[in-house]
């Protein structure tokens, strides 16, 4: 085999390998593994398809909807399509302590299930935030998140866990 024929054969093999990989990506079921989130209006419009399936719901925490139950460590709030009071929204119940930056009018993505009673039970709560980090100042208490949560809740009573 001459060097020219060998180089052509290697080039043909590389093209076939690249074509097979591209075909797998294009026609394989790789899209089934992607996880998208629904807006509250999409969740409400899907009806029976939304019940009992694990869903990611994304939107904005509706102003005046945050309620923290310290005794049961239950956080109730509404995720809306936008910050307007008349925007479509879904009642969310989370059994975990919220992230430090959780407050009203912040973008959130919650993962969980929606039931026929109209409550979205979340087992994961993520907030949308900037990429800027500010280290705590000297003498600043670690529980600073309580103040940020209280600042966001203008009408709701918010008492974080462990607060006096």
SS (H, E, C) 23-43: HHHHHCHHHHHCCCEECHHHH
Q: Mind listing the pLDDT tens digit of every residue in the chain (164 residues)?
A: 898 999 999 999 999 999 998 888 777 766 666 667 889 999 888 878 888 788 899 999 998 899 988 777 889 999 999 888 788 999 999 988 888 888 888 899 999 999 888 899 998 888 876 666 667 677 776 565 555 545 544 433 333 334 44
pTM over 0.75: no
CB 88 within 8 A of CB 42: no
Give the containing element (helix H, strand E) for 150.
Answer: helix 145-152
Tokens 């001459």 sit on residue = 2
**CB environment 134-156: b (16+ within 10 A), e (fewer):** eeeeeeeeeeebbebbbebbeeb
State residue 48's pLDDT score: 81
User: Which residues are 126's β-sheet partners?
Assistant: 109
**CA-based angle 18:23:26, to the nearest 5?**
125
Rounded Cα distance, 78 and 153, in Å: 12
State residue 128's pLDDT score: 79
State residue 30's pLDDT score: 65
CB 70 within 8 A of CB 150: no
CB 74 within 8 A of CB 27: no
């Amino acid at each position: 085999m001459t060097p020219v024929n060998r180089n052509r054969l290697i080039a043909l093999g590389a093209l076939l390998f690249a074509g097979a990989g591209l075909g797998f990506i294009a026609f394989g079921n790789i899209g089934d593994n992607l996880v998208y989130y629904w807006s509250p209006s999409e969740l409400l419009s899907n009806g029976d398809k939304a019940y009992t399936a694990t869903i990611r719901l994304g939107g904005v925490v509706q102003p005046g909807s945050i309620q923290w139950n310290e005794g049961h460590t239950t956080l109730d709030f509404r995720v809306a399509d936008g910050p307007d009071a008349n925007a479509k929204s879904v009642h969310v119940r989370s059994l975990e302590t919220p992230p430090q930056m959780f407050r009203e009018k912040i973008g959130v993505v919650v993962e969980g299930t929606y039931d026929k009673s109209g409550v979205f039970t979340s087992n994961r709560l993520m907030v949308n935030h900037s990429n800027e980090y500010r280290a705590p100042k000297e003498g600043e208490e670690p529980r600073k998140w309580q103040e940020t949560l209280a600042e966001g809740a203008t009408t709701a009573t918010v008492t974080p866990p462990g607060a006096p």
